[in-house]
Amino acid sequence: MKIDIVSVFPEYFEVLNLSLLGKAQEKGLVEVTAHNLRDWTHDVHHSVDDTPVGGGAGMVMKPEVWSECLDELLHLEPTTVTCDSTADADDTASADAAEPAESATEIAANADTVPATDRPVLIFPNPSAPLFTQQDATELSHADHLLFGCGRYEGYDARIPRYYRAQGVDVREYSIGDYVLNGGEVAVSVMLEAITRLLPGFMGNAASIVEESYTGENALLEHRQYTKPADWRGIKVPDVLLSGDHAKVDRFRRDEALAKTNELRPDLIEALDCSKLDKADRKTLMALGWEVSGAHPRQR
């Protein structure tokens, strides 16, 4: 997988040379290049921002600098597109586009879609975009080329994602949570780590990503984990985990995952497909107060 990152602080991404992502780069599984957006400026101050049109606090990232950079990295020629300047960027991109394009909202609804491997995916972190999820990470782990653009200041000019959607580029905007960071660098690191650890050969033990929180069709939170000693400072691990009975251990862990998810993320229980639950799952959920006779569990 080829990964390009554009930022005004490319040094921030030196940390990606550490740990498993560093090893994945050494093995040739991923090739990460961090570019400095200022390399595409032409003025003496290397400015990438300007005052907001309409007034207001702060500065906004200029579209001209971004487009010179992105055109080069995406091998596109500069052109002019016809867009309604009053329309909302995400929701109207495909209507405005010279070619059919997908909005971030449409993509979130079709998160199982595998990106076409022959075209790059352009990703902008944005606190007002749909939340980045494990499903998005799984989907993007199938792409050949990801290009991340890190916003700073008050953010990037809203026409940038619209323009590239209109060019037929697969453009995504994602938030990593309901809070505001200083820049997109942290958000890109979060998304990158979630995506790349799903690449075949990335993890030493591939099994460790199969049964994780938020993973798979009927996603739950993972059961609690323990290691030795079995009795630590007066707190014992559950006896069944020491029994050596694998079937019992599996059932205990599954029930614990259901109970923990019920307590902390009942929305994930509500999203379960009842037809994929076994008899023991249904019994556990019923004991936790769920009705499991319909398509999805319903709280009694």
Kindly identify the residues of this chain, within the stretch 4-33, that bind ligand SAM according to CB under 6 A.
none
Q: Which two tokens stand for residue 4?
A: 């390009």
What's the CA gap between 12 and 260, in Å, rounded? Answer: 36
Binding of ligand SAM by 187 (CB under 6 A): yes
d(CA 260, CA 263): 5
Query: What DSSP letter does each residue of 77-108 carry, written as one string?
Result: --------TTS-HHHHHHHH-SS----HHHHH
162 binds ligand SAM (CB under 6 A): no
CA 144 to chain centre: 16
Residue nearest to ligand SAM (CB): 151
Whether 119 contacts 147, CB under 8 Å: no
Which position among 11, 144, 177, 287 is part of the footprint of ligand SAM (CB under 6 A)? 177
In the chain, the amino acid numbered 45 is: H
User: Should residue 184 be labelled a site residue for ligand SAM when binding is judged by CB under 6 A?
Assistant: yes
From candidates 81, 111, 158, 181, binder to ligand SAM by CB under 6 A: 181
- How distant, in Å, are the alpha carbons of 37, 50, 66, 120, 185 from that of 152? 11, 12, 12, 23, 9
* Among residues 1, 48, 176, 292, the one that binds ligand SAM under rule CB under 6 A: 176
Q: Does 56 bind ligand SAM (CB under 6 A)?
A: no
Q: Is 261 in the site for ligand SAM (CB under 6 A)?
A: no
Exactly one of 117, 128, 243, 299 binds ligand SAM (CB under 6 A); that residue is 128
Neighbours of 233 (CB within 10 A): 5
CB of 42 to ligand SAM, least distance (A): 23
Q: Could you tell me the smallest distance in angstroms from the CB atom of residue 183 to ligand SAM?
A: 5
Judged by CB under 6 A, which stretch of 9-17, 43-51, 90-98, 146-154 contacts ligand SAM? 146-154
Residue 175 binds ligand SAM, judged by CB under 6 A: yes
Q: Determine, following the binding rule CB under 6 A, whether residue 183 of this chain makes contact with ligand SAM.
A: yes
H or E, element range at 258: helix 246-264
Residues that bind ligand SAM (CB under 6 A): 125-128, 150-152, 154-156, 175-177, 179-184, 187
